[in-house]
Structure 1
């Protein structure tokens, strides 16, 4: 278990470990790239980019001060001198114009309250010819964790959209319209399917699932009297997915690539 998980934060790096090499291959960072990592979290992808951009640099931005603190600490431990992190909302942050040759994001671009403004701002930060490489979730029906949580904590109602949610970029046609309308071209979506990790056993997986906004909302909706029974059902469902190397859920995503003309 990582230090992040021990502190009670959801461990996205562990969850998405099978997607990491798929994203790195799509990023294809060059030695002289200057990389912008959008929604960088604890900086795993930013640090990987910095390691490849040996004569360039990598900037990771995120709205979470706690995760950025972890990102800085890990970068120092790894001795990376060409990486830095800023607390910033990529939708509104004043990036240096045409300051980056590559934009990347690992599940960090689905939560913008105004996607058009956000991607317009990101396009301004990228140089002509720069690439944008994003990993985003496909529709929720392809995400086993979402299906299981909704089924075991069912209330007959759907959790409301909070103004930016994990599946907002699930439709490739809509994403292509969004990106071409905000300054990008050559938009492509590649189908990728990997399992996601939720912990070494059912108890750890239940703790991880309980930290999700969806779970907290549904538990609050059904009330404390029914919540314990619902959690028992959830724990049993997680136990049924126990393997020799932990609890995994099937999932599908898009690697979306585009170019700033």
Structure 2
């Protein structure tokens, strides 16, 4: 494993949070997979593309990128050993031979300069302790003219799971869990901040466009409520209150989610994200 500088996130994703995501990879893919096609299309992958997947987690987008480039390759990079183990296992079962996975920190990983034609990420770039340094390092890994494409959450109020959690305010001590700016899910919720960070990191032609998708959070309101309350934020907030408040919170969340049950019982919540593309300059101004 290469040098780790983002130690707080490394600890989190190699602890209970990483284990939860690895154990529930299919459920999280059902939540987020509506963004796969827009992301891969934006990356403009060709049959011979060499793709870097940053914060690849359990590797669904890495495997999809590899399938789009049968004469190329895809490398998935993540801090989380539990999720990478799942990624490797799934790739082997699916017989995808042009994909590899590596544990490492994108802020400090020693990429071969210009080794990739594209870098992608589905919800993996919001947790950097130093975003400018991380994107600058990713930029060095791209060939001149290479493309960066990623998806990250837009403003909290535009995401259905946040509205669901907000239904518990007054029962659970939510505080400012969805505050933008700091490392975490909503650190890049501001389009202006994305543009500023990428410009400072040496990227050009930055485009930030909204994209929406309905994610499947469970079958029935009870199941979806259990899943949401077993996420990192859910476990954190439940752990701060007594049993009676936990019961009230679960009941309130279930009631909220009943309004989002489809005819087949699937609970669907709308997520609004930014689809971001940027290029490494092809000329002498490329990041070095």
TM-score (norm 2): 0.84
Does residue 249 of structure 1 match 2:265? no
Aligned counterpart, 1:236? 255
Q: Within 1, Cα distance between the matches of 2:174 and 2:136? A: 38
1:172 aligned onto 2:191:
yes
Q: Structure 1 residue 153: deviation in Å?
A: 4.1
Question: Which of 42, 50, 56 is matched with 1:40 structurally?
Answer: 56
Where does the alignment leave 5 or more consecutive residues of structure 1 unmatched? Answer: none
Pick closer, same or farther for the CA change 1:34–1:143 going to 2, 3 Å. same
RMSD: 2.1
Query: What is the CA distance between 1:26 and its match in structure 2?
Result: 1.5
**Residue 94 (structure 1) shift:** 1.2
Match of 2:175 among 123, 133, 157: 157
Task: Confirm whether residue 195 of structure 1 aligns to residue 195 of structure 2.
Answer: no
* Cα displacement string for residues 145-191 of structure 1 (whole angstroms, at most 9, x for unaligned residues): 11211222434732386951111111111111110111100000111
**Structure-1 separation of matches of 2:230 and 2:148:** 30
Once residues 110 and 22 of structure 2 are traced to their aligned partners in structure 1, the CA distance between those partners, rounded to angstroms, is 35
Unaligned runs of 5+ in 2: 1-19, 282-288
Q: Is it true that 1:123 corresponds to 2:134 in the alignment?
A: no
Q: Does 1:147 align with 2:166?
A: no
| Alpha-carbon displacement from aligned partner over 1:16-44 (angstroms, at most 9, x marks no partner) | 12222222221221111110000111111
Give the superposition deviation at 1:55.
1.5
In structure 2, what is the equivalent of residue 103 of structure 1?
A: 119
What is the match of residue 149 of structure 2?
Answer: 133
Contact 1:135 1:254 in 2 (8 A): yes
Mapped contact 1:50–1:58 kept (Cα < 8 A) = yes
Give the Cα–Cα distance (whole angstroms) in 1 for the partners of residues 24 and 52 of structure 2.
Answer: 28
**Deviation (angstroms), 1:218:** 2.2
Give matches, 1:77-88, under 5 Å. 77-88=93-104
- Residue 217 of structure 1 and its aligned partner are, at CA, apart by 2.4
Task: Tell which deviates more after alignment, 32-41 or 157-166.
Answer: 157-166
Contact 2:22 2:86 in 1 (8 A): no
> Which segment drifts farther, 16-25 or 153-162?
153-162
Rounded to whole Å, the distance in 2 between the matches of 1:124 and 1:171 is 25
Larger deviation, residues 87-96 vs 30-39: 87-96
> Partner of 1:20 in structure 2?
36
> Which sits farther off after the overlay, 148-157 or 198-207?
148-157
User: How big is the shift at 1:205?
Assistant: 0.7
- Paired residues in the alignment total 258
